[in-house]
Structure 1
Amino acid sequence: MDQDHPLVRDVYPDLITELVSLLEDEGERELAICVWDVRLFGECGCSDDFCQSIRTSDHLPGQPYGQGHRCVPLLPAKGMLNLDVVDGRIAYVEILDRPTMRREADT
């Protein structure tokens, strides 16, 4: 695991808590456990004001994930949360139309 990238739980703890709960609600127990250890590789970078999506792997933006990819849509109280999962690992967290997330260091 790349130690140069912070754990998402350290940067956005509320997001991880919500993802764990939503994944458990969807019966995605293994992903609910794995999400605790995802790392923040970068922000989406699209500059859309409704997007706060984050990369949790070193996958090149704009490239297809290929074999072993699946999308896991979740049902949050507000906005949209979808996960791109490749071979059982969370590669991307799509975060759309949600209240602005604050980095833990910003609080």
Structure 2
Amino acid sequence: MEQEPPLVREVFPELIDELVALLEAEGERDLSITVRDVRMVGECGCGDDFCQSIRTADHPDGQPYGPDHRCVPLLPSTGDLILDVVAGRIVYIEVLGRPPMRRPAQQLDLPA
């Protein structure tokens, strides 16, 4: 049986906490609830050093998301956070120009 991808909140809990707060501030209540349950399907993989974006659903190769797609730009204190939403589902989290995100396991390895 194939294992499900991890929840983004398990990999980057601080990012999800920030997204919840920003979505609430933008009046995006439904998205602020569903962002807690998005799964990390993969990282962007573009190779740009300013990009830490996360795929939360499979993307149609070379194809646009379709007519039910909308972008939800948020206003973080640093960098850019933009959600791609299709039919009410978050399919991509753009994380651009921000300090490196740390996974919980990496945080444990830091000296005190």
TM-score by length of 1: 0.94
Counterpart amino acid of residue 75 in structure 1: L
- Structure 2 partner of 1:87: 87
What is the distance in 2 between the residues matched to 1:21 and 1:74?
A: 10
What is the distance in 2 between the residues matched to 1:77 and 1:36?
A: 20
Cα distance, 1:106 vs structure 2: 1.7
Matched, 1:14 2:9: no
SS at match of 1:78: coil
Answer with 1 or 2: which has the greater Rg. 2
- Structure 1 partner of 2:66: 66
SS at match of 2:59: coil
SS at match of 1:93: strand
Counterpart amino acid of residue 24 in structure 2: E
- Structure 2 partner of 1:26: 26
Cα distance, 1:90 vs structure 2: 0.1
Counterpart amino acid of residue 20 in structure 2: V
Matched, 1:106 2:106: yes
What is the distance in 2 between the residues matched to 1:61 and 1:7?
A: 23
Structure 1: segments with no counterpart, 5+ residues: none
Sequence identity percentage: 68
Q: CA RMSD in A?
A: 1.3
What is the distance in 2 between the residues matched to 1:22 and 1:3?
A: 31
Count residues with an aligned counterpart. 106
TM-score by length of 2: 0.90
Residue by residue over 1:78-98, the C-alpha shift from the partner in whole angstroms, topping out at 9 and shown as x without a partner, is 000000000000000000000
SS at match of 1:71: strand
What is the distance in 1 between the residues matched to 2:15 and 2:62?
A: 24
SS at match of 1:31: helix
Structure 2: segments with no counterpart, 5+ residues: 108-112
What is the distance in 2 between the residues matched to 1:78 and 1:14?
A: 14
